[in-house]
Amino acid sequence: DAGVIQSPRHEVTEMGQEVTLRCKPISGHNSLFWYRQTMMRGLELLIYFNNNVPIDDSGMPEDRFSAKMPNASFSTLKIQPSEPRDSAVYFCASRDTGRANYGYTFGSGTRLTVV
Amino acid sequence: SQQGEEDPQALSIQEGENATMNCSYKTSINNLQWYRQNSGRGLVHLILIRSNEREKHSGRLRVTLDTSKKSSSLLITASRAADTASYFCATDARDKIIFGKGTRLHILP
């Protein structure tokens, strides 16, 4: 199992540009989570999906952020337009809700820098 | 918003010593999990303790949970240089987990 795969690993973009982060969860996992990590705020839950359906997006900071999960093996987090304060490491995680007492598996993250 | 809060924020100990980190949380939980994050890497799940459990072991790790005090502790025995990392507690209240800000552990040679 290759684990949770995120791309790109690093992204540097100019303010105002659109940014798309990608995530492939572990096969068979039916929940997917997007987190953002900064020094100031720590790890924040942005949104999560169960069976490809968005369940809770209350952590999405602004309308500039959107996330989709068109199928069980792929999710995107899009920021449009990007701003310098969006600079952070974005993590995707997945789990199998049928195994509720097992931990989440995290990807390696995407380090986003908006200049 | 953070649910769990780790204490201390940073900890430095000599290799071979035991490291203890604490976590306090605010609301009822189904389980509590501990994760490790090495610098520049993703989070790795270490151990999960259910709300009806009081203590759990995994190798050199020992986790306790006191639901009456809404607190947990992670003990790493016989620390090694490779244990240098940030450690996070995460509370699972329903179908999502919320992280604390973590404890930065540094093992001195």
- Please tell me if residue B45 touches chain A, with a CB cutoff of 8 Å: yes
Q: Min CA distance, B29 vs chain A (Å)?
A: 12
Cβ proximity of A70 and A49 under 8 Å: no
Q: How confident is the model at residue A63 (pLDDT cuts 50, 70, 90)?
A: very high
Tell me, what's the pLDDT at A70?
Answer: 97
Q: Give the closest of A103, A106, A109 to B48, CB-based.
A: A103
pLDDT in tens, A12-51: 999 999 999 999 999 999 999 999 999 988 999 999 999 9
Look at residue B27 in the predicted model and tell me its pLDDT: 87
B98 touches chain A (CB under 8 A): yes
Which among A35, A48, A103 has CB closest to B33? A103
Q: Which residues contact B8 (CB under 8 A, 6 or more apart)?
A: B21, B22, B103
Quote the tokens at residue A53: 């359906």
Binned average pLDDT, 10 residues per bin, chain B of 109 residues: 77 97 92 93 94 96 96 97 96 84 94
Residue A106 and residue B42: Cβ atoms within 8 Å?
yes
Residue in A42, A102, A105 closest to B99 by CB: A42
**CA A36/CA A47 separation, integer angstroms:** 10
Beta strand segments in B1-109, E? 5-7, 10-14, 19-24, 31-37, 43-50, 55-58, 61-66, 71-76, 85-92, 97-99, 103-108
Best probe of the B interface among A43, A48, A89, A96, by most B CBs < 10 A, is: A43
pLDDT in tens, A70-86: 999 999 999 999 999 99
Instruction: Give dist(CA A25, CA A18) in Å, integer.
Output: 23
CA–chain centroid gap for B85, Å, is 11
Mean pLDDT, residues A46-74: 95
Tell me the DSSP string of B56-73.
EEETTEEEEEETTTTEEE
Contact A51, A30 (CB under 8 A): yes
Distance of residue A8 Cα from the nearest chain B Cα, in angstroms: 14
Whether A7 and A22 have beta carbons less than 8 Å apart is answered as yes
Asked whether residue A1 carries a pLDDT value surpassing 90, the answer given is no
Say what the pLDDT of residue B95 is: 75
> At a CB cut-off of 8 Å and minimum separation 6, what does B67 contact?
B28, B29, B51
All residues of chain A having their beta carbon less than 8 Å from the beta carbon of residue B97 are: 33, 45, 104
**Any A CB within 8 A of B93 CB:** no
User: Where do we find the tokens 């068979």?
Assistant: A28
